[in-house]
Structure 1
Amino acid sequence: MASLLLPSSGLRIATRRPQSSSHLRRLATAAPSTKREGDISDAFASLSGMQFKPLDPRFAELKQRLIRGSEEALYDSWRRLLASLREEIPLIAELGSRAVPEIDFADIDRASPDFRAEHKKRGVAVIRNVIPEGQVLEMKRELRAYIATNPQTKAFPQDNPQVYELYWSPAQIKARSHPNLIKAQRFLMEFWHSKDPDALISSSHPVIYADRLRMRQPGDAKFALGPHVDGGSCERWEEEGYGRGQVYDSIWQGKWEEYDPWESSCRLPVISDMYQGVGACSMYRMFQGWLSMSETGPYEGTLLVNPLLSRATAYFLLRPFFSPKKAALDPTAETYEEAFLEPSNWQLESEPSSWLQGATPGHGQELRAALHPHLNLPSSMVHVPKVRPGDYVSWHCDTIHAVDKVHAGKSDSSVMYIPACPLTVGNAEFLTRQREAFLTGRPCPDFGGGVGESEHVGRPGPNDVENVNDGDGLQAFGLKAIDGEAEGLSGGQKEVIDRANKILGFYD
């Protein structure tokens, strides 16, 4: 059997099926997953049947600490934010899907200033024709065959699968390592910047994050995931979560306009999964994204996004500090009367409550009209434009997004979730565990544990990555050392590459 040599390690990995060896165990010593078994419903309170409610009293104390000394500035900031939302949301509602900037893959090397400006403002994009349509349709055919050959594959809901607990199917391996997809990820991550020129991060070296896939069928209403934000919930307010990098400090200080959602160095120390939630992401993803495998338009089981990146983030983070003086006439409405929304009807809590509206430990951040009325979610959530197989849709890691409540289309709405992740020390540490999961067929470490695909027939191995992309494809999987002496690297890039190569076991 042929084998793939991991440079500088002396490790050979079987290229058809991963085989055990003392060298392999040395390179990936952590268990691939310590989380209980589960599916996508475990990641969100609403899909799990939970109700939003006040949290532990310690969160009231946390809220008090966050804004102590900035109360007056925070109130003024809140009023400015509400005024800005009242101006921006009607514009978004009028634009609809046109609020989402688009670019063809062939043009990303010469992206227009208009696209760049809109992307920075909106945080979402569609990149057309990233992978040829014929190749993607063949991937979908392979997926169906892989699922049919392995009927034990877990999915949600069990009685009518729409989202599959698959991480290592042949199609996913091909898509993640495809040179065009990696180039598109690199293009997107270049929109981020670091205020620290020596920050240990390289957006020029994407690494994979093994997420699931969706094959949603017409008529489905169970995978009705409402507006939400991934990457933790309570962690955004907690000192040992996003507070470790002071990511949102300008917002707590009453200066929401100074918040920069594109600054990367503050994200490096963040702990986004403090509660070991099933499906809670612990890796630094600059963008979440998916590769379309079908022709899908609005209301056909597709994605909705909120293209008010900085404003929407500031709003859902500040909402727990404010309460209405007079309640809404109909608290179950999707939209609210002007008198209720007026800034004069809202006051800073005199005694902080333990509410973090839409946040539940161990689950993603969710948003609801009743909890976040000023966002006017029915108007500010817009469908992404119609997509075809091979189009790549991406959204900033803080973007509010959702899926159609009902798939009203006539054909499947199928995507492979493929986020864009930079090379960092933390991501390299995760990659060692994820590489072991790949080699053994276990689920990605962030997701539910169990046997996963370890017993699946036709599960691919490292040679399948090599066959698609023996350069940055292998590097993205943690199967090949990265060249830290390449021309044009900054000092921070060289340092993080060196550390990552050591973490991944390529040299001491």
Structure 2
Amino acid sequence: MAATISRGLRASRSAGRSLPQDPALRDLATAAPSQKKEGDISDAFASLSGMQFKPLEPRFAELKRRLIAGNEEALYDSWNRLLASLREEIPLIAHLGSKAVPVIDFKDIDNTGPKFRAEHKKRGVAVIRNVMPQQEVLEMKRELREYIAANPHTKAFPKDNPQVFELYWSPAQIKARSHPDLIKAQRFLMEFWHSKDPKALISSSHPMIYADRLRMRLPGDSRFALGPHVDGGSCERWEKEGYGQGHVYDSIWEGKWEDYDPWESSCRLQVSSDLYQGVGACSMFRMFQGWLSMSETGPYEGTLLVNPLLSRATAYFLLRPFFAPKNAARDPTAETYEEAFLAPNNWQLESEPTSWLHGASPGHGQELNAVLHPHLNLPSSMVHMPKVQPGDYVSWHCDTIHAVDSVHAGKTDSSVMYIPACPLTVSNATFVARQREAFLNGWPCPDFGGGVGESQHVGRPGVEDVEKVNAGDGLQAFGLKAFDGEAHALTGGQKEVIDRANKILGFYQ
């Protein structure tokens, strides 16, 4: 099949209308879709859907009981150490502000200094400057506007004043995801991860695409006010059938949060992060979420905020559902009383587990706020990204708490293409095989709201458009070309995962 797909790349001229001419690709492009229900970004988050956070089904109380059984005393001690650490770290973050985010220029990523590496490992967030030339990216933004204008039936949120578009296969997105320098930047970031299992079936050297949306936020917008949240599921982080399959957070449940390693990859290979088929819930292993800036955008101008406390913040929002204040009354106007409320001696393990998973609800993203997660002091610990220019790439670890400005107070658009960094794994290859089908047909990415998507869009690109940009690892990232299992210096695990991925993608039996 490898040869026929290769021929089909040159033969396919979809452009939003015709299907590939090669029989192998035609079969892929006409298969019946398996889609989620239709929806937009508001369906992915309880707060944007108008839902209120509340206790969940009673089974979650029993889940919490089992999760920490036998470790209650260690968990309590761990909680107190965590609160002490947060009291030290948060004032430092508040003082640094945007300077807490490590920044590097693309031309320097082959010779990274120890300071950037140490800060990136600690913070989990980064800005890579000048990944793509400014004028090239501004041209992409112009193309996007033309594509949207030519297809006024494009879904977007909010409907009356679109800011986030349900677009996955526009010409600009195809060019950006395939761009050799962007793929190189993704590879650079993913190699911060490591595996304790030398035979793990994963390769961070072989990025795979994940077709995400784009944002073109206009000055004055306050509708796309997405507060602090974490991608990659919500309830799944506590569930045995979710992150429990990889024992990702076991050290936290055992009362040893300091031993939690957010950069260990092998434990994430068995994770199910979308148990409830949520619209927009990511089922692929994304090491980093990220976006390519298409605007000059600074703090308060409709940009991203992040919580650069990576391991501490993760431990806190995971442990929060197990603890309750002895005195729950709060007066946010009284500073001394607030200190008493947050004091460790005012918090105890729940005497009887409740079904609260603070900010989590099945089928939606994990959300956080100052009331549910008071010790994180989110108004102080959420910091803006530094000012970015068109062509800068912004990334954040998949466990990172992040948000967007509640109001776009700038004077120009704040536009980005969401482009995560995903390694080659067996499950990611399985997803990309489905995603390739969606690409060939113009359907939405399988993780997002279903429907006809861009199948009737004028000017939708085809396979040959990927080939024009990057006929090597660009095509591979899309699942349109076999990975080279005989390349130099591959580990045994890399060779095995490449072999399995090539079979899953249909390049050989």
- Under TM normalisation by the shorter chain, which class is it? over 0.9
Q: Which residue number in structure 2 is paired with residue 373 of structure 1? A: 374
Equivalent position of 1:256 in the other structure: 257
Q: After superposition, what is the alpha-carbon deviation per residue over 1:337-375, rounded to whole angstroms, capped at 9, x for unaligned?
A: 100000000000010000000000000000010000000
Q: Is 1:216 matched with 2:217?
A: yes
Distance 1:335 1:437, change over 3 A: farther
Q: Secondary structure at the match of 1:337?
A: helix
Question: What residue is the counterpart of 1:120 in the other structure?
Answer: 121
Task: State the Cα deviation string for residues 396-421 of structure 1 (Å, max 9, x = none).
Answer: 00000000000000000000000000
Distance across 1 between alignment mates of 2:176 and 2:335: 39
How does the TM-score come out when normalised to structure 1?
0.97
- Which residue of 9, 12, 18 maps to 2:8? 12
CA contact (8 A) 2:5 2:480 kept: no
- Are the counterparts in 2 of residues 8 and 507 from structure 1 also a CA contact under 8 Å? no
| Residue identity matched to 1:281 | C
Does the CA contact (< 8 Å) of 1:125 and 1:393 recur in 2? yes
Q: CA deviation at 1:20?
A: 6.6
Alpha carbons 1:335, 1:373 under 8 Å: kept: no
1:86-125 maps to which residues of 2 (within 5 A)? 86-125=87-126
SS at match of 1:459: coil
Aligned counterpart, 1:267 = 268
Following superposition, the deviation at residue 19 of structure 1 comes to: 2.8
- Please give the alpha-carbon distance, in whole angstroms, between the structure 1 residues aligned to 2:117 and 2:193: 12
Contact residue 335 and residue 376 of structure 1 kept, 8 A: no
User: Does 2:151 match 1:150?
Assistant: yes
Aligned AA (2:456): E
What is residue 313 of structure 2 aligned with on the other side? Answer: 312
Tell me the equivalent position of 2:477.
476
State the secondary structure of the residue aligned to 1:314.
helix
The number of aligned residues is: 504
CA contact (8 A) 1:31 1:433 kept: no
Call closer, same or farther: CA 1:159–1:371 in 2, change over 3 Å.
same
Partner of 1:384: 385
Q: Distance in 2 between matches of 1:281 and 1:30?
A: 22
Amino acid at match of 2:417: M
Q: Could you tell me whether the CA contact under 8 Å between 2:332 and 2:338 is conserved in 1? A: no
- 1:33/1:448 contact within 8 Å kept: no
Contact preservation (8 Å) 1:7, 1:480? no
Alignment correspondent of 2:187: 186
Other structure's SS at 2:8 match: strand
Deviations 1:241-263 (A, max 9, x none): 00000000000000000000000
Change in CA separation of 1:31 and 1:281 when aligned onto 2, cut-off 3 Å? farther
Q: Look up the SS of the partner of 2:53 in the other structure.
A: coil
Maintained 8 Å contact 1:225/1:405: yes
Cα pair 2:12 2:21 within 8 Å, conserved: no
Structure 2: distance between partners of 1:230 and 1:480: 29
Counterpart in 2 of 1:446?
Answer: 447
Give the structure 1 partner of residue 77 of structure 2: 76
* CA–CA distance in structure 2, aligned partners of residues 364 and 354 of structure 1: 17
Shift of 1:331: 7.1
Equivalent residue letter for 1:410? K
Whole-Å separation in 1 of the counterparts to 2:404 and 2:336: 19
CA distance in 1, matches of 2:244, 2:169: 34
Distance in structure 1 (CA, Å) of the matches to 2:115 and 2:277: 41
CA contact (8 A) 1:297 1:386 kept: yes
Cα offset for 1:327?
Answer: 1.2
- Separation in 1 of the partners of 2:171 and 2:179? 12
Cα distance in structure 2, aligned partners of 1:56 and 1:332? 34
2:138 corresponding residue in structure 1: 137
1:412-451 → structure 2 map (5 Å cutoff): 412-451=413-452
CA contact 1:324–1:347 (8 Å) conserved in 2: yes
CA contact (8 A) 2:2 2:508 kept: no
Structure 1, unaligned runs of 5 or more: none
1:62 match? 63
How big is the shift at 1:23?
1.9
RMSD over equivalenced CA pairs, Å = 1.7
Take 2:403 and 2:84, find their aligned partners in 1: how far apart are those partners? Answer: 25
Is 1:297–2:293 an aligned residue pair? no
Query: Which whole-Å deviations, capped at 9, do the CAs of 1:57-107 have from their partners, x for residues lacking one?
Result: 000000000000000000000000000000000000000000000000000
Counterpart-to-counterpart distance in 1, 2:266 and 2:250: 14
Structure 2 residue 192 is the aligned partner of structure 1 residue 195: no
Please say which of residues 24-33 and 239-248 is displaced more in the overlay: 24-33
Contact 1:29 1:433 in 2 (8 A): no
Provide the C-alpha distance between the structure 2 equivalents of 1:457 and 1:297, rounded to a whole number of angstroms: 34
Residues 34-67 of structure 1, C-alpha deviations (whole Å, 9 max, x = no match): 2111000000000000000000000000000000
Aligned AA for 1:34?
Q
Structure 2 stretches lacking a partner, 5+ long: none
Residue identity (%): 83
1:227 maps onto 2:224 in alignment? no
